[in-house]
Chains A and B, each alone.
Chain A
Amino acid sequence: MTTDRFKNTGSVILPVMLLAGASFWLLQSLTAPQQAAGPALSAATYDATIEAPELITIPPRTFEYRDPARYIENELPQISPLVHAKVQTPLNVAKNLVTNAQYRQCVLDAYCPPAITIKTPIDDHPVVGINYEMAEKYAAWLSAKTGENWRLPTALEWAQFAGEKYDDPEKDIQSDPTNPAVAWLSEYRAKSKSKSTTPSQSLRPAGLFGANSLGINDVAENVWVWTSTCYERINVDATNSQSKAISCGARVVEGAHRTYLSVFISNPQGGGCTVGDPPDHLGIRLVKGGDKPDFFSFLRRLWPFGSSIKA
């Protein structure tokens, strides 16, 4: 295992974001690791009046992408490997975030719970105050209504359509194996730097932040989106043998920076122990079609260390 691939780091964001709900999601993941997706879609059957969202097709492309799994090697936290991704199939992505007006139809259908927000939702604003389960339910509902396969993107797919808006979450992180504070401080400073250039939390009508170079609106602005990618920790010991723990009680959330959130969180807050930089708002971006690519088989293909990875 080459050392320049793996730099030592401590993770700030991870403990930070998970602290609030750690006990809950741990419990959840232990008791129901493969929870089925919500109640039956009896209320949601095909309905020609429900319009499918406008689509943008992302052509096959090659990009750098940071593996969202957290790595520990010989008891030391590592910076996750940078993956050189070559995606050979096109991806259909909704041009806009799901709006309040769109989400409300699912609520009126008694299938989705209302978004958790104290402010009155404005029709053409992106829906926010959404936890993972709500996002999943909306995708299931829209699929039933349209007869198409709508789902949440994987973290990899998010990077694929984020284009130039994808910012390597760990590029400025320094580390020192004898001083974990070096990583904490550099991560804090890197995130604070980006904070000063991020837009305010005030929501704007969908599309108003404009499109990225691939034609997708409002990417990495003030609404973060849920991905279907589960939280994963990989331990590598001195003999190069691996063990991993996957918990789908927490998922990767993508936006101006990457974070990991417990699935029931709809309004993350900063402050307190949470010295990380939380998402401003949590919303939904959908992709269409295909089965979820098998992320792990994909990663195995890209894995720089070949056969050292066990399934």
Chain B
Amino acid sequence: MVTRRQTIFGALGTAAALTAVANLAPQALAADNIDEMPRKKVKLVPPPFVHEHEQVASGPPQVIQFEMTIQEKVWELDDEGTVTHAMTYDGTVPGPMMVVHEGDYVELTLINPETNELLHNIDFHASTGALGGGALTEVAPGEQVVLRFKATRPGTFVYHCAPGGSMIPWHVVSGMNGTIMVLPRDGLKDDKGNPLRYDQVFIIGEQDFYVPRDENGEYKTYETVSESFSDQIETMRGLIPTHVVFNGKKGALTGDNALKAKVGEKVLIVHSQANRDTRPHLIGGHGDYVWETGKFNNPPEKDLETWFIRGGSAGAAFYEFLQPGVYAYVNHNLIEAVELGATAHILVDGEWNDDLMKQVSAPGPITK
């Protein structure tokens, strides 16, 4: 009889061998002058925020070094105490967003600590080859790997875990996904080529969860992540999530955790969904410039009410707040927004503009 860990590692196979090769001789596969290129270590920041970065690259391409530690952890999904076993990059759902410029090299150290139970890897939609790096990054508990890829295409791109077979959707809907933003070296531009500069970036990682219920309708809990596998796959195959949330938890971006902005501030809202289609909408606002597919070589669409994020992609919406108030940012499948959790709030301070909107007559008796 095989142990659980052996079973889970059963899929290692040839990819592990490739990993070993890449680890032993990374230089052999690299372009000529990478050794001489400037290198920069960047510490990642938990969403909804992002690490400090230049919007316009001030110098030539560099090697940007990131490090992420995979954490399997018990994860609370709502304020009813529903828990699941989340799999996370660096402890958050979604994982932290990385920002580089087109032509930079991304060099990621991915650590899978001994305390984890499962094999993991990373597939960068922004990269080219080896299943997005997935085939070169499989790490068992107690291992680490270093992957480098060249950021050749500007845009917002999903990354996610993809360790093979049913493990792929299971890891992704357990929270193992995030976004990398590759900015054009000269920054974002509108449809006419004029520069667009943001004051803040908000990272919205939308996540569908599939928590099994018992015969009494209660959410089930499992002692270990591997024990939850077969029930979870069954629930996932029904395709109806039990939770659709922003940033890992119902209410992660509301109440005390609501996002904050000011009238006149320009924000870039990056919205990722690694598994399932969604349609963000800012209630009471718009998308001034929206890269629905997230790819900055295409001109942004303007004045959108709702934008479509394809499952397995990240999009970016640029907006200047014109009016103060409490904004709700939702998945405009309103059942998912209200009943399943896909709602964030943005508190915007500033002066009210009567020209844009005014209550001409308060609610009162009908006069005619």
Contacts and interface: CB of A to CB of B under 8 A. Distances in A.
Interface of A: 12, 20, 72, 75-77, 118-120, 178-182, 184-185, 188-189, 191-193, 195-196, 200-202, 233, 235, 243, 245, 269-275, 277, 280
Nearest to A72: B362
Given A181-B324, A181-B325, A235-B364, A272 B343 contact: yes
Given A75-B362, A188-B326, A272 B347 contact: no
Nearest to A74: B362
B348 interface: yes
B337 A271 contact: yes
Contact of B342 (A235, A271, A274): A271
Contact of B326 (A184, A193, A201, A235): A184
B330 interface: yes
B255 A275 contact: no
B345 A275 contact: yes
Nearest to B251: A270
A75 B326 contact: no
A72 B79 contact: no
A185 B326 contact: yes
B339 A185 contact: no
Nearest to B81: A202
A271 B330 contact: yes
B364 A181 contact: no
B365 A245 contact: yes
B246 to A, nearest CB: 10
B326 A179 contact: no
Contacts of A274: 328, 338
Nearest to B216: A120
Q: Is the interface of B mostly helix, strand, loop or mixed?
A: loop
A240 to B, nearest CB: 15
Interface of B: 78-81, 216-218, 250-251, 254-256, 258, 283, 323-326, 328, 330, 334, 337-339, 341-343, 345, 347-352, 354, 359, 361-365
B326 A271 contact: no
Contacts of A270: 251, 254, 338, 343
Contact of A12 (B283, B326, B330, B350): B326
29 contacts: A20-B338, A72-B364, A75-B361, A75-B362, A76-B362, A120-B216, A178-B354, A181-B324, A181-B348, A181-B349, A184-B325, A184-B326, A185-B325, A185-B348, A188-B345, A192-B254, A192-B256, A196-B256, A200-B81, A201-B79, A201-B81, A202-B80, A202-B81, A243-B364, A270-B338, A271-B341, A271-B343, A272-B328, A272-B334
A192 B343 CA distance: 15
A267 to B, nearest CB: 9
Contacts, number: 107
A271 B328 contact: yes
Q: Which 6 A-B residue pairs are closest in the complex by CB-CB distance?
A: A271-B343, A181-B324, A120-B216, A179-B352, A181-B325, A272-B338
Contacts of B338: 20, 269-272, 274
Contacts of B341: 271
Contacts of A179: 324, 351-352
A119 B220 CA distance: 12
Contacts of B348: 181, 185
A63 B217 CA distance: 43
A188 B258 contact: yes
Nearest to A196: B256
B218 A181 contact: no
B20 to A, nearest CB: 47
A149 to B, nearest CB: 35
B326 A275 contact: yes
Nearest to B349: A185
A233 B366 CA distance: 13
A273 B283 contact: yes
Nearest to B323: A181
